[in-house]
Structure 1
């Protein structure tokens, strides 16, 4: 279809954009990662502080992105911002990393999580179809995950209204369910002494390591630099759970009055999710002991050793008994399905913008009869399904998280560059607290990256490797263009 006949339709309002921000952020992480943070920090206070820091970092980044969104209300979002500040190579490396791992890897991971929790109701989904030694295992759940991605992609190719409706319905459903979980959790939890017990000797931090073979536990006290390093390393869990808020910038070409609505939706969406995440962790600490033992009851396991690392399920069990396992599985199914709808909808628009710059497959730059980049969506779908089938998306996500943080730093530093290069450019919204807030974000996130480099050198190095592979690919696209 030619661009003369079809163009992106501005049909999304503030509520729609906010639901995309919140819905894309809330997946399955909030129901799991507190277990890892509990083992890494061993302190209720430090866990909550880490979540507060995560929320402040996320909101400060979102408020900073508001300035760039107001300046460049175009499809592609962060890809466009990086290109204007640094040029095409830097923007391509961002788009390359998003396509190869960040967006598609998250889509694959969320889809498999959806399938795994569906298996609570249909256990045959965990059956193996075939395996190759201990290296490759293919299960029924991976087929369901791929079918989920294909279904959501198909729905989104039929027009922005379909994607908008699914996003609004599922985001509303999971927000209501989460608020109910928090409310009942706090009500029941605060009628016990669990919360106060969790805050005994609250500033004494420690790292707990479980030997899976012998089931023995090693505890190491954390103070000073060691504690700071532990927070810097474990915050990657909460940051990953709070990621994808920037997806709304990818669909700027379809948002009404984007110069106002994108900054507002970024603020409102990240604020809502930050409040929910902090309250959810307070509820966990009110319902379950922080410390526990391996292979005990729900209460005996506590947060640190929750069965299968599912602290959300353990909390629901404390509220509703055994039926809580099924209630939480249903909630996570709703959460992950809605999350993937937003990720799939928005990701295609980034690859559409890349194709318009001749930095992606040409067909991805075309719109179908419903005015959406259907081919870009299908390219994304195919690669996400390949990652589902490979079973390696989890490792790839670990490698890419570091690179993702670097691109956030790069983008926010772009505000400083563009203020200098283009002082007279139209800025309907200016970054909150500039230059202090953006500078603090850059400094704190850089410190987290340093902590990750020290504590997980292999994964961070591989993350940089994925970015570096994009350099020769960029020149291949340039040569093809010529």
Structure 2
């Protein structure tokens, strides 16, 4: 089914260990950490449980990262999970994954991040009735064009944004820990600063003593940790990749866990559990309580930086699996066209789909929520299959050199797959119609798979 294509993009090692770490950190630390702490607090019975939940999220992410480290070092390829699924389960599953990633998972994530950027950028400079959507579309266009220039431009931008992102979280955490007063009573959200934000159903139902719901709490925690697996898509572009991929995953998960714990510690200390649980803009409220309204506005600036960082990294890694789809399936040959380290056509198609999803989110008037619902079930389904592929490839290809092997095999991979299965069930239970739309988009790949196989068979008979 593979087809030789002229002017294919060529991937050479151009990323250092530092570049890889900052790319992963930038991917993971998006806008989620500024929104989900209130949901976690609303489902915890005390402050210690909040901190333990974030620590557990880091441990779970590390388990998954170790599993991916074995796959990425044994099979370095710009297709990442696509390539693992292809070797483990064949072309059909790999095709459906690449199709779903192109139409649902990655493009939906780009649109989701773009909406968050639009919401917070609108707090700083509003562009009319559709301000958030305009900002979202502009971010997708600008960063797609930036990635079309060259990976050197993209990685430089990523390094600057990720560094600013980490420094911003450290500053906010320091202010919360050293300058905030003792937890005060619940204060209302200032509608003049955040006119579009309403308290969530979870926050509205919080009593003076939040109830415990460990399962729902971990849904929000693991959502906020999501993204470290994208390291597999740059495995072919990292210098000394068989060693540095493992290092980048371990270092990035460690840095992210430390930052999340530090920020939540400052929130617990500065606001208290009940006040945390009652606010959807919890970090902004912490800054407001210490620095006044200027502090709340500064948080909008930080979220804008964090979200732009994640958008850039998500666009960078997303185009790699589209490129792999074009290399292996003749129906999508054009996706493989590009220059060195720049899958140009894959980037353009990805950007166009993401812009369409921004339009969908605009029409539903719930851009962020629609994109969360749209992406979650498909994401966890293929995450589960990627975990299972580790077992399959160990059994089917025992002689492949594995520079790194996941420790405590098979205990840790089984644990990882169990977590993915739980998250898949949870995402289907909570997402409703949005999740169903994502599943439908996945199934729409079946006719294209049939068509591609038909074209390939006809070519082989000639």
TM-score of Structure 1 vs Structure 2, range by shorter chain: 0.7 to 0.9
Q: Deviations over 1:391-419 (max 9, x none)?
A: 15532432421321222221112111111
Q: Which residue of 2 aligns with 1:17?
A: 20
TM-score normalised over the length of structure 1: 0.83
Match of 1:241 among 216, 221, 224: 224
Is 1:26–1:335's contact at 8 Å kept on the other side of the alignment? yes
Confirm or deny that 1:327 pairs with 2:324: no
Q: Which residue of 2 aligns with 1:231?
A: 214
Confirm or deny that 1:287 pairs with 2:270: yes
Is 1:76–1:252's contact at 8 Å kept on the other side of the alignment? no
Q: Deviations over 1:267-302 (max 9, x none)?
A: 1111111111122111111111322xxxxxxxxxx2
Measure, in 2, the Cα distance between the counterparts of 1:378 and 1:27.
Answer: 23
Measure, in 2, the Cα distance between the counterparts of 1:454 and 1:156.
Answer: 36
Q: Which residue of 1 aligns with 2:138?
A: 147
Q: Which residue of 1 aligns with 2:283?
A: 312
Secondary structure, in 3 states, of the residue corresponding to 2:30? coil
Measure, in 2, the Cα distance between the counterparts of 1:71 and 1:29.
Answer: 32
1:465 Cα deviation from its structure 2 partner: 4.0
Match of 2:89 among 68, 86, 90: 86
Measure, in 2, the Cα distance between the counterparts of 1:448 and 1:211.
Answer: 21
Range 375-384 or range 275-284, more displaced: 275-284
Match of 2:109 among 90, 97, 106: 106
Q: Structure 1 171/222 Cα, relative in aligned 2: closer, same or farther at 3 Å?
A: closer
Measure, in 2, the Cα distance between the counterparts of 1:356 and 1:173.
Answer: 36
Q: Which residue of 2 aligns with 1:344?
A: 315
Q: Structure 1 459/156 Cα, relative in aligned 2: closer, same or farther at 3 Å?
A: closer
Match of 2:179 among 188, 191, 202: 188
Match of 1:409 among 377, 384, 394: 384
Is 1:400–1:466's contact at 8 Å kept on the other side of the alignment? no
Confirm or deny that 1:384 pairs with 2:359: no
Measure, in 2, the Cα distance between the counterparts of 1:386 and 1:436.
Answer: 42
1:255 Cα deviation from its structure 2 partner: 1.7
Confirm or deny that 1:75 pairs with 2:78: yes
Match of 1:166 among 157, 175, 186: 157
Q: Structure 1 269/105 Cα, relative in aligned 2: closer, same or farther at 3 Å?
A: same
Q: Which residue of 1 aligns with 2:57?
A: 54
Is 1:364–1:373's contact at 8 Å kept on the other side of the alignment? yes
Q: Which residue of 2 aligns with 1:34?
A: 37
- Which consecutive unaligned segments of at least 5 residues does structure 2 have? 186-198
Q: Structure 1 5/106 Cα, relative in aligned 2: closer, same or farther at 3 Å?
A: closer
Q: Structure 1 46/454 Cα, relative in aligned 2: closer, same or farther at 3 Å?
A: farther
Match of 2:406 among 425, 431, 447: 431
Is 1:210–1:218's contact at 8 Å kept on the other side of the alignment? no
Range 335-344 or range 459-468, more displaced: 459-468
1:177 Cα deviation from its structure 2 partner: 1.1
Q: Deviations over 1:415-434 (max 9, x none)?
A: 11111111111101111332
1:252 Cα deviation from its structure 2 partner: 2.3
Q: Structure 1 304/415 Cα, relative in aligned 2: closer, same or farther at 3 Å?
A: same
- Which consecutive unaligned segments of at least 5 residues does structure 1 have? 129-138, 196-208, 292-301
Measure, in 2, the Cα distance between the counterparts of 1:140 and 1:322.
Answer: 22
Q: Structure 1 359/30 Cα, relative in aligned 2: closer, same or farther at 3 Å?
A: farther
TM-score normalised over the length of structure 2: 0.87
Q: Which residue of 2 aligns with 1:269?
A: 252
Range 447-456 or range 156-165, more displaced: 447-456
Q: Which residue of 2 aligns with 1:357?
A: 328
Is 1:57–1:441's contact at 8 Å kept on the other side of the alignment? yes
1:181 Cα deviation from its structure 2 partner: 1.2
Secondary structure, in 3 states, of the residue corresponding to 2:444? helix
Secondary structure, in 3 states, of the residue corresponding to 2:277? coil
Confirm or deny that 1:418 pairs with 2:393: yes
Q: Structure 1 474/221 Cα, relative in aligned 2: closer, same or farther at 3 Å?
A: farther
1:457 Cα deviation from its structure 2 partner: 6.3
1:21 Cα deviation from its structure 2 partner: 0.6
Count of residue pairs brought into register by the alignment: 436
1:460 Cα deviation from its structure 2 partner: 5.4
**Larger fraction in strand:** 1
Measure, in 1, the Cα distance between the counterparts of 2:263 and 2:331.
Answer: 40
1:231 Cα deviation from its structure 2 partner: 2.3
1:63 Cα deviation from its structure 2 partner: 1.0
1:88 Cα deviation from its structure 2 partner: 1.4
Secondary structure, in 3 states, of the residue corresponding to 2:357? helix
